Amino acid sequence: MTNPIWAVVVRVAVVATVAATFALPATAPAGAATESRPLCHDNWRQFGGGASHRGLNRCEQVLGRSNVNNLTTAWAVPGNVVGNAAVVGDWVFSSSTDEHGQPVLRAVERATGAPIWEVSGLFGYPSVADGLVLAVDFESDMLTAHRADTGRLAWSVPVDESSLGYGPTVTGHVAYWGNYIRGLEAVWIPTGAVLWQGREPRHCGGLYAAPTVGGGRIYQTTTSGCLYASVASTGKILWKIHPAKKSDLFSNSPALVNGILYAGSYRSTLFAIRAESGAVLWRTRLAPVATLTATPAVAYGTVYVGAELDGGDEGQVYAVRASDGRVVWTRGTAGSPGGSPTVANGVVYVGQVGSFSRSGQIVGYRSDDGKVLWAKDLAQYVTASPVVVGSRVYIGTWTDPENDGFLSAFGLSGG
């Protein structure tokens, strides 16, 4: 494994804001596993907004149905964006490319998009906790932690060479990462100390997608179609299931809400699974030939999920009743949905990849009936999940082989 070359370009930051935004805790007790409290805040620290990956910002009170159509571009930073951004304090963090098309982990000012720092490396999705930006560098096969204010490397931990391009899941002061071969791993965020390392269940293949964490448990999907639960403090496996039919796989991480896991499959089936036992409560086949592309969002008693149809040239967004799997509404999309839906203040935001004949888009649907409230053509492919926080919408785009993507922020006039 080669040593990474860290090239950090630092812009002077307002250090006084760091202490107010981040606080480093004391050292961890052995085998520690802590969970963050559901506080209302103005941050989006990781994929899905939290360790449960439910994709809901329950705190948004300004941007909503009545004014979402007034969103305009606040700023756009050039460079292809890989995956989902994190928004914490005064900064936005993303895995991007620089002006030369080289991959970097990047921090920009939340208000203006002005650059703060860049670190060279092929990074997955960032997650932020304890004043550190955590991301896997797939060039060096390391889970890295960089200071959020300067980009300086704080620590790094080796990961599997074949680990996939997701980010760690953070809750409290612990980060959970699914090594493709070696299994789940828990890391104490302030120091990088490995708390424990588990093993995946037999006959389940490698780990796939970011772990989902809640209620003292970890839920993980695998490349052979398994979903299994582990104890968050030790990694001990509690149960495993393989509910999908033969040759079907879960397409991403499950969302965890009120003790129920919601997960989609590559063969268009949406599952509701009891988190305590792994019992399947219901399953709904949403289309004859479709792939449920990403983790569902869950809000207002409804599960929102995107589906890729016809090889990606067409797509659908489905709203499904969480209690019984009944379809409430569906809407067609411009190409397959990119990333997972995000829900805030009665609006469901979905990035749409686009196709050879259509631009990518970001669309806001009314949550109860699917009416389109806002749509923005982006002229690039959209594969990331929208981030909706602080009355702004953030999303990344990319083009290939050109380096013409952007990290964009959309806001209300004067906001």
Domain ranges (residues) in the chain: 8-17+43-58+70-411
Query: CA 118 → CA 126, 142, 154, distances in Å?
Result: 13, 17, 15
Q: Which helix (H) or strand (E) holds 16?
A: helix 16-21
Preceding peptide of 158 cis, ω within 30°:
no
Does the pLDDT of residue 39 top 80, yes or no? Answer: no
**Judging by DSSP bridges, how do beta strands 297-299 and 291-292 pair with one another?**
unpaired
What mean pLDDT do residues 183-203 have? 91
Evaluate if residue 33 carries a pLDDT over 70: no
pLDDT top residue among 406 and 1 = 406
Q: What confidence category does residue 325 fall into, taking pLDDT thresholds of 50, 70 and 90?
A: very high
pLDDT at 298: 98
Protein fold of 8-17+43-58+70-411: Methylamine Dehydrogenase; Chain H (2.130.10)
Give Cα 317 to chain centroid, integer Å: 18
Q: Report which of residues 346 and 101 the model is more confident about.
A: 346
User: Do 306 and 317 meet the contact criterion of CB atoms below 8 Å apart?
Assistant: yes
pLDDT at 8 over 60: no
Cβ atoms 176, 169 nearer than 8 A: yes
This model's pTM is above 0.85: yes
Mean pLDDT of the chain: 86
State in Å, rounded, how far the first CA of the chain is from the last one: 46
**How confident is the model at residue 312, as a pLDDT?**
64
